[in-house]
Amino acid sequence: MIYKPTYQAAQIIAPKVEAIFAQHLAAARESGEEDLAPLPSAEIVEAIIDATFWASIRKEEGHSPKISLAFLPPAQGGSPLLFKNRLPLNPTILTKIAPGVERPGIHIGVWQEDGELYIWGTTTSIPNFCFVLDVSEPALLVIKHRRIYGFGKFTNIAVLKGDQIKIVDVNSARHPDCPPMLLSLLDLTAPSYWNDTVNVLIQLAVSMRSHQRGGTLLVVPNGTKNWLQSIIKPIQYGIQPAFCGLSNLLKQDRKQASQIFWQTVLKREVEHLAGLTAIDGATVISDDYELLAFGAKIGRAKGKELIEELSFIEPIAGGGAVVMHPAKVGGTRHLSAAQFIQDQNDAIALVASQDGHFTIYSWSPIQERVMAHRIDTLLL
C-alpha cells in the first residue's frame, strides 16, 4: 500500500481483528444471513487504524476529530453521499473532513482498489458485521460492528488507547448469574428491540457516561420499599408519586407509531433520567423504569455487615474474575454502590466515574458475594 503504517498497536491487533470478523462472517453465512459486509484483511485493518490514530491526535481549528470509518464498497452503503473524486486515506484528509462528519450515525466510507485504500464518501447505512472504527477521543479508538439484527448500539470488538490494547472476550460472561445487560452488550442474547428493557438500560448507561460528571443509578424491584433501608433519611429529592415518563412509554404498543418517532421520544426520556445521575447522590428507579428518587445518600442497612470483598471482572482478554476490596474498584460511589448491593441482593447498581470507567454491581447467588463488572470497554 502507498501509506505505510507506523502505529505499533495497529500491527499487533490487526491479525486478531481479521480472525474475529472472519469467525463472525462464517457463522452468519452458515445461518443463512445475507447483506454481509466484506472481510477486512489484517493489512487493511492495520492501515485504517494507523491513519485514524494519527488523525485522532491532530486538531482542526482547535477541535480534535470524533469520526467513524466503515470498510465497505459504495454499493453496500444504501444511499451514500459519493465524492466526485476519491480521497486518499491518510491523517491529513481525515482531520480536514472530520468537522463535517462528526454527527452520530455518519460513517466515512473506505474501500480498496488495486492495493490502495481510499475514501469514497459517507453513509448512514452499513451491512451486517461491517468493520467500523470510531474515534471517541484523542488516541482512543474503538473497533466495532453493526449488530446482526440492527437494534441497539454497535457491538464492540476491541479498544485501543495509546499503547494499550483491550480485546473483548465474550467467554468472560458465560456464567449463570451474569447480568442480562452485559450479555446484551456482548451480543450473546436473542435480538433486542430499540425499546427492549435491557436495551433501554444500556442507553441509560451510555447517557450516564456521556455527561462525564460521574453518577450512580440504582435499579430496585418494583412494588417494594426494602431499598429505603439502605438510604439515609431524609431523602432530599424524593419523588411522590413516582415519575413514570419512561415507564409509561415502554408499556405502550410500539406498533401504534413509527419507529423513528418512538426512538426520538425514548431518547428524550432516557436523557432526562440519566441527566439526574449527575447530581450528587444516587438516582433510584424501579425495574420497570419509574423514577423514585435522585440525590439519595447510600448508607449501610441496619443489621447488615460492612462489605469487605467483591468479585471484579472485566470482559476483555485476561480480565478474569479477581476477588478484591471494593475500595480498589473506585472511589466513594463504587464503595457505596457495592454496599447497597450487598444489603439489597435483588437490586443492581450502575456506576459511572468521571474518568470514564463504568461498572455494573450485582449479587451473585452462586458466589454469594457482590460482583463488579467493568463495562466501559463495551459502552464506547
Same domain, 160 and 281: no
What is the model's pLDDT at position 83? 95
Q: Does residue 375 come out as left (phi exceeding 0), alpha (psi in the -120 to 50 range) or beta?
A: alpha
Q: What is the DSSP string of 60-78?
A: BTTB----EEEE--GGGSS
Question: What is the C-alpha separation between 344 and 135, in angstroms, rounded?
Answer: 38
Whether 218 is in a domain gets the answer: yes
Residues 252 and 229: their CA atoms lie apart, in Å, by: 32
In a domain, 232, yes or no: yes
* Tally of structural domains, the chain: 2
In a domain, 45, yes or no: yes
Residue that finishes a domain, picked among 121, 141, 167: 167
Q: What would the grid cell of residue 366 be?
A: 452462586
What pLDDT, on the 0 to 100 scale, is given for residue 197? 59
Same-domain pairing of 27 and 49: yes
Neighbours of 372 (CB within 10 A): 28
Least confident stretch, 84-88, 102-106, 357-361: 102-106
Q: Evaluate whether residue 201 is within a structural domain.
A: yes
- Asked if 163 and 230 sit in the same domain, the reply is no
Q: How far apart are CA 101 and CA 318, in angstroms?
A: 35
Residues 82 and 113 in one domain: yes
Tell which of 167, 202, 225 closes a domain.
167
Mean pLDDT of the chain: 87
Question: 310 and 235, same structural domain?
Answer: yes
> CB-hemisphere CA count at 13 Å for 148?
18
pLDDT above 80 for 335: yes
pLDDT exceeds 60 at position 313: yes
Question: Tens of pLDDT along 106-143?
Answer: 999 999 998 899 999 999 999 989 999 999 889 999 99
Higher-confidence position of 101 and 316: 101
Return the pLDDT at 344. Answer: 96
What order do you get walking across the sheet with 369-374 strand by strand? 237-243, 291-296, 282-286, 215-220, 348-352, 358-364, 369-374, 310-313, 322-324
Q: Give the separation between CA 322 and CA 348, rounded to whole angstroms.
A: 20
Question: Are 189 and 147 part of one and the same domain?
Answer: no
CATH number at residue 319: 3.40.1700.10
The answer on 84 and 202 residing in a single domain is no
Q: Is pLDDT at 193 greater than 80 in this prediction?
A: no
321 CB contacts (<8 Å, ≥6 apart)?
311, 312, 313, 371
What pTM value is reported for the model? 0.80
pLDDT higher than 50, residue 195: no
CB 380 within 8 A of CB 202: no
Kindly state whether residues 155 and 222 are assigned to the same domain: no
Distance CA 68, CA 27 (A): 26
Place of cell 462464517: 26
112: helix, strand or coil: strand
Both 195 and 239 in one domain: the answer is: yes
Residue 110: give the domain boundaries: 8-167
For residues 28 and 120, membership in a common domain is answered with yes
pLDDT reading at 213 higher than 60: yes
Q: How distant, in Å, are the alpha carbons of 74, 140, 187 from that of 180?
A: 36, 27, 10
In a domain, 175, yes or no: no
Length of the chain (residues)? 380
Among the candidates 145, 167, 189, a domain finishes at 167
286 and 243 within one domain? yes
Res 190: pLDDT: 42
Instruction: Express as a percent the part of the chain with pLDDT over 70.
Output: 90
> Is the residue at 365 inside a domain?
yes
212 in any annotated domain: yes
Strands 132-137 and 140-145: antiparallel
Say if CB 371 and CB 361 are below 8 A apart.
yes
Q: Burial, 239: exposed, middle or buried (Cβ in 10 Å; 0-12, 13-18, 19+)?
A: middle
Q: What is the DSSP string of 211-254?
A: T-S-EEEEEE-TT--GGGGGBPSSPTEEEEEEE-HHHHHHHS-G
Question: Are 217 and 338 within one domain?
Answer: yes
Task: Give pLDDT, residue 153.
Answer: 61
> Which candidate, 206, 286, 293, places its Cα nearest to that of 246?
286
Assigned domain for 184 exists: yes
